[in-house]
Structure 1
Amino acid sequence: MPLRLGYKASAEQFGPRELADFGVLAEQAGFDSVFVSDHLQPWRHDGGHAPAALPWLGALGSRTERIVLGTSVLTPTFRYHPAVIAQAFATLGVLFPGRVVLGVGSGESLNEVPLGLQWPDGKERFARLKEAVTLIKALWAGERVTFEGTYYSTDKATIYDRPETPVPIYIGASGPAATRLAGRVADGFITTSGKQDSLYRDTLLPALAEGAEKAGRTLDDLDLLIEMKVSFDHDHERAMQDTRHWAALALTPEQKSGVEDPIEMQRLSDELPVEQAASRWIVSTDPDEHVQRVQHYIDLGFRHLVFHAPGPDQARFLELYGEEVLPRLRALGS
């Protein structure tokens, strides 16, 4: 599979209009895809944003011509009934044929608990995700679908407007069970950079291969997407300070477990030194050194790299990356 290079539109950091402008600039800069998360609540209260992904994808699609649009990731199990997601992404697929990806995951309590929804344990969240994907696929494949699941049901439901080119489903995961599910039933797999190599090499990729084998497939049949956390700038201090807005990503699972309030998440994040805030990011000022560090993930087996830049000046990042990094990566891929 050829190397694909994408841009992560930071919906938790920017409002819908400027975020759409960045998506347009990403296409102009030579990126292949734009992926956006679907948050109800951002990681920070001050300066935080949370535009809805579904209308935003439609708006960006209407302003671009070739770039692939997707979610990384959306949770089709609590705020949404899976049938609503099936209808929405079928519509997007009709509007922008061959350019839409539905990326799904088991969710964050930050987005569901504020609506009064009960946040179950990981076992139930996984079961809901698996059932939701099954129902979405059934609705895309058939008419008058009656579905009786543990968590969701439909009674003679039909999605009337479906694209001729099927919308691929990617599953985002950081543990072996959901990763095996991705290998078994999804078209692609989504994970994030900045963790121990052993997680990718010894846990996630073997689990993905195991799931694919059960479906009579190999990893070559899947799009292996990794969200690359990069802070690239000619000024090293600026590149370091840019990571502060996303310091929540450097919190340990224990530190952020059960935190559903953006104000509390912000407080915990602001207590971290900048060195810890930057620990999840490839911070670099030299394009050759930067590409060398990115190549490590290509060597692990990832072929679709979606770059998430933490700074407030996204236009600057897109211009720098388009001029100095993307050409080097494309030469590497070829």
Structure 2
Amino acid sequence: MVRCGYFLSCEEFGPRELVRQAKMAEQAGFEALWISDHYHPWNDAQGNSPFVWSVIGALSEATSLPVTTAVTCPTVRIHPAIIAQAAATAAVQHEGRFVLGVGSGEALNEHIFGDAWPPAGIRLEMLEEAVAVIRALHSGEEITHHGRHYTVENARVYTVPDRPVPIYVSGFGPKAAGLAGRIGDGFVCTSPDADLVRMFREAGGAGKPTQGGFKVCHAPTAEEGLATAHQLWPNAMLPGELAQVLPTPRHFEQASELVGKDLMSGTLPCGPDPQSYLDTLRGYLDAGFDEVYVNQIGPDQERFFRFWEREIRPAIPQLAHV
């Protein structure tokens, strides 16, 4: 049976609210947590972006649920040697229930020091080297590394967990899915794309966990849910590589002016009908995902968790037999 988790959105909520949501998610029967890692939100309407590692530490005292970053970019904004230390500490805090999800990042978060934003192929190359650096440091040994993109000299992470931190790699295209299969301990994606799951498995990911995630907007009516989703997340409909290359929330707001509410209709579950939520979950199961993470858009979190506990969670076991 699929494991269902809750996706904590650092773009919409501050640190204390994220911890509160994690507690509610556990009480509602969610089995794990995703948490996003951004420097900026996608637009000003979302309005938040706390430092994720502080929140992850707080989560270790607030909940017993496993936590995965979805996802951290360990290549430009933060050096992989620092991410190695942060992830090792998080794994100790969570007593081994922490997964470092990594990806090649977006200019929105990574350009803030004025570094050139590399093309996709170079970003994937940087990601592969960064993962190798992180894994080496998680050995607890002193490491010196002189690579194409990163230098590490006489570095040792002293606080390490008993077992290496699992590193899952995100992929939204064939090259990234292939890299995830080759270097990752698991796969992360936000699309129910069976082809990407197949590419991941064929590239070396056979038998490794696959995590997928999607957004919803539970509300009294479908129209209210769609209106909230369109107000806060029109950027989700931007095509191609825009999400990777636009540099500021202002640019995302400008591009999102082209996204009418009608374009979002039918693209995510909205409103009170349980079937649309179950159908979306089923799509991820059919695509081959083992774990699925759900994010409720907007402030009405309590209503969503009640809805999930009463209407969705009891029906999930039947999905595997449909």
TM class by smaller structure: over 0.9
Aligned to 1:210: 202
- After superposition, give the CA deviation of every residue in 1:44-73 in whole Å (9 maximum; x if it has no partner): 124411111111111111111x20112100
Aligned to 1:299: 286
What is the DSSP-based 3-state SS (H/G/I as helix, E as strand, rest coil) of the residue aligned with 1:253?
A: coil
> TM-score if structure 1 supplies the norm length?
0.90
Are the aligned partners of 2:67 and 2:97 in contact in 1 as well (CA < 8 Å)?
Answer: yes
Aligned to 2:217: 231
Match of 1:285 among 267, 272, 277: 272
- After superposition, give the CA deviation of every residue in 1:122-168 in whole Å (9 maximum; x if it has no partner): 11100000000011111112511121211112223211111113321
Change (3 A) 1:232 1:98: same
Change (3 A) 1:184 1:50: same
What is the DSSP-based 3-state SS (H/G/I as helix, E as strand, rest coil) of the residue aligned with 2:138?
A: helix
Runs ≥4 in structure 1, deviation > 6 angstroms? none
Q: CA deviation at 1:257?
A: 6.3
For structure 1, which segment, 304-313 or 104-113, has the greater mean C-alpha deviation from structure 2 after superposition?
A: 304-313
Unaligned regions of 5+ residues in structure 2, if any? none
Match of 1:139 among 119, 137, 140: 137
Aligned to 2:190: 192
Aligned to 2:38: 39
Distance in 2, matches of 1:128 and 1:279, equals: 37
Higher normalized helix content (fraction of residues):
1
Match of 1:201 among 194, 204, 216: 194
Aligned to 2:310: 323
- After superposition, give the CA deviation of every residue in 1:266-323 in whole Å (9 maximum; x if it has no partner): 2332442112134542335322343133212201211100002222212221221122
Distance in 1, matches of 2:164 and 2:101, equals: 14
What is the DSSP-based 3-state SS (H/G/I as helix, E as strand, rest coil) of the residue aligned with 1:232?
A: coil
Q: CA deviation at 1:252?
A: 1.6
Q: CA deviation at 1:263?
A: 1.9
Q: Is 1:167 aligned with 2:144?
A: no
Distance in 2, matches of 1:255 and 1:278, equals: 21
Are the aligned partners of 2:91 and 2:165 in contact in 1 as well (CA < 8 Å)?
Answer: yes
- After superposition, give the CA deviation of every residue in 1:88-147 in whole Å (9 maximum; x if it has no partner): 111111111121110000000001223312101111100000000011111112511121
Aligned to 1:21: 20
Distance in 1, matches of 2:319 and 2:17, equals: 31
Distance in 1, matches of 2:259 and 2:88, equals: 42
Change (3 A) 1:115 1:315: farther
- After superposition, give the CA deviation of every residue in 1:151-200 in whole Å (9 maximum; x if it has no partner): 1122232111111133211111101122112112212101113xxx7xx2
Aligned residues: 320
Are the aligned partners of 1:231 and 1:282 in contact in 2 as well (CA < 8 Å)?
Answer: yes
Identical-pair percentage:
37
Are the aligned partners of 1:248 and 1:277 in contact in 2 as well (CA < 8 Å)?
Answer: no
Distance in 1, matches of 2:225 and 2:218, equals: 6
What is the DSSP-based 3-state SS (H/G/I as helix, E as strand, rest coil) of the residue aligned with 1:13?
A: coil
Are the aligned partners of 2:169 and 2:187 in contact in 1 as well (CA < 8 Å)?
Answer: yes
Q: CA deviation at 1:327?
A: 1.9
Distance in 2, matches of 1:166 and 1:24, equals: 27
For structure 1, which segment, 293-302 or 66-75, has the greater mean C-alpha deviation from structure 2 after superposition?
A: 293-302
What is the CA RMSD across the aligned residues, in angstroms? 1.9
Distance in 2, matches of 1:58 and 1:23, equals: 13
Q: What letter corresponds to residue 105 of structure 1 in structure 2?
A: G
Distance in 2, matches of 1:257 and 1:163, equals: 33
